[in-house]
Amino acid sequence: MFFGHEEIKGLADSKIKDFWQWTYSDILINKNRDDFGLYLVANALELTKFPRIDWGNIEFRYRRKKIAVKTSGYIQSWRQKRPKRVLYDIAPKKGVNKKTDDSITFRNREAEIYIFCLLDQKDVTKIDVLDLNQWKFYIVRTRELDEHFQDKKKIGIRPLNKLASPVHHSRIKAILDDLIELDLGEKMVL
């Protein structure tokens, strides 16, 4: 893991933090907002002490559960006439068999739980990506997506609100822990 002070060898007076500042300073860009949303969730779950591992179709594992994190927002970095429509990618994907490195021939949603992050501010003059009060988080079991949106590739904010209520960043860990405990209890009863 880099800490920021490491020099980039061959570039005079350049450190890794210079790269980070140059690359990630505009968090409203979709790619950077996605990474920031993932960081916010990882932070809520106390998973930021170690470097991020790219898991493929899932963002990370938490308490033996595969978690997918999807991020969206109404405002982009570029000039807009109106807030953009919020859509999240929920399309089932082909995976890779980790034991054989072969492609799996069927499509599925590999994660067991999805966390949808929404930068909820619609007014470009008030948007502050660093203000957690402008973010909402939705936690949804994959089986609920499969039940209600089996063949869908995207989900908007209205259908998402029917599946889950938005929560504040400070509640992500507790709600996810409760959901996992509930799932464990259901398995024990069967």
The answer to whether residue 167 is domain-embedded is yes
- Which of these ranges, 117-126, 129-138, 177-186, has the smallest mean pLDDT? 177-186
Q: What is the DSSP letter of 127?
A: -
Question: 126 lies in which domain range?
Answer: 26-189
190: pLDDT confidence band, cut at 50, 70 and 90? very low
Q: Is 80's pLDDT higher than 70?
A: yes
The answer to whether residue 11 is domain-embedded is no
Distance CA 83, CA 105 (A): 38
The answer to whether residue 159 is domain-embedded is yes
Q: What is the mean pLDDT of residues 34-48?
A: 95
Q: Is 22's pLDDT higher than 80?
A: yes
The answer to whether residue 137 is domain-embedded is yes
The answer to whether residue 14 is domain-embedded is no
The answer to whether residue 15 is domain-embedded is no
Say how many domains are in the chain. Answer: 1
The answer to whether residue 42 is domain-embedded is yes
What percentage of the chain exceeds 90 in pLDDT?
Answer: 61
The answer to whether residue 99 is domain-embedded is yes
Q: What is the pLDDT of residue 79?
A: 79
Token pair of 98, please?
């980790």
| pTM of this prediction exceeds 0.95 | no
Q: What is the pLDDT of residue 98?
A: 56
pLDDT (tens digit per residue) in 99-130:
555 555 555 788 999 999 999 999 989 999 99
Looking at 13-167, which runs of residues are DSSP E strands? 60-62, 65-73, 87-89, 93-96, 103-108, 113-119, 135-141, 154-156
Judging by DSSP bridges, how do beta strands 93-96 and 154-156 pair with one another?
Answer: unpaired
Instruction: Identify the residue with better confidence: 4 or 114.
Output: 114
Q: What is the mean pLDDT of residues 39-51?
A: 92
